[in-house]
Amino acid sequence: MNIITIDGPSGSGKGTVCHILASKLGWNLLDSGALYRILAFAALQKNIALDDAKTLTAQALNLQVAFVSNGVGVDTVLDGENVGDKLRTEVVAEAASKVASIQVVRDALLARQKAFYQAPGLIADGRDMGTVVFPEAPVKIFLDASAEERAQRRFNQLQNKGFDVSIAQILSEIKERDYRDRNRTVAPLKPASDAIEIDSTSLSIDEVVAQVLDLVKLKLKLAVK
């Protein structure tokens, strides 16, 4: 079974690492965080309370969403509209973290996530890919970095986009979300018992990708260039 799970907090670099791995291996990619963000975005649009488990579950089961390759990346199409950019705001991230803490909502998104596994293989990016969604995956990575480094990366990203932001505020938001994701009772962010932990604090993206590919060659006996 060709599945690589990469779990970790936001800012650990897993999104970029997963994109590079999926393109190098020619495998499918599941960005599970995007599913939680889409659900949260739809809930905000439809004025569904972020703790209304029943309505959120129905919404999760009926999401009309597609991930469509556009040549350079992937468009996230919700009800016919490309909502990719609208999912990346702090408001949506905060709402996603709230809906993600409800067990029945997570259950409702489970089959949709599992369906991403198709030949020749899958890179699964999230918080509980190795622990809950694909416990059978032969290669599991837990990618972490210090909160200060993750805040610095986010600060650089936002500054490059022309936003005037405070690093102290970003750091405090990161710490708050980490605390919620790691301490929730439902599918908390934690390494699977058989995950390999990589600390990317002082590693480049290329160095992380190289480490994962070494593991893939070893465990899956794949020839990767």
25, 78, 96, 145: residue in contact with ligand DC (rule CB under 6 A): 96
Among residues 63, 77, 93, 196, the one that binds ligand DC under rule CB under 6 A: 93
Name the segment binding ligand DC (CB under 6 A); options: 93-101, 143-151, 157-165, 209-217.
Answer: 93-101
User: Exposure of 203 by Cβ count < 10 A (0-12 exposed, 13-18 middle, 19+ buried)?
Assistant: middle
Amino acid letter, residue 206: D
Among 181, 200, 208, 209, binds ligand DC (CB under 6 A): 181
Contact flag: residue 128 with ligand DC (CB under 6 A): yes
Binding ligand DC by CB under 6 A: which of 67, 84, 127, 154? 127
> Cα 25 to the chain's mean position, in Å?
19
Residues 10-69 that bind ligand DC (CB under 6 A): 10, 32-33, 36-37
Say if CB 21 and CB 4 are below 8 A apart: yes
User: Is position 117 an interface residue for ligand DC (rule: CB under 6 A)?
Assistant: no
If you search the block for the tokens 């060659």, which residue do you land on?
217
Which residue in the block uniquely carries the two structure tokens 């067990």?
Answer: 103
CB of 190: closest distance to ligand DC in angstroms?
A: 12
Nearer to ligand DC, 90 or 224 (CB): 90
Select from 66-74, 122-130, 160-168, 193-201 the region that touches ligand DC (CB under 6 A): 122-130
For the chain, where are the E strands, in sequence order?
Answer: 3-7, 28-31, 65-69, 74-78, 81-82, 122-126, 139-144, 196-199
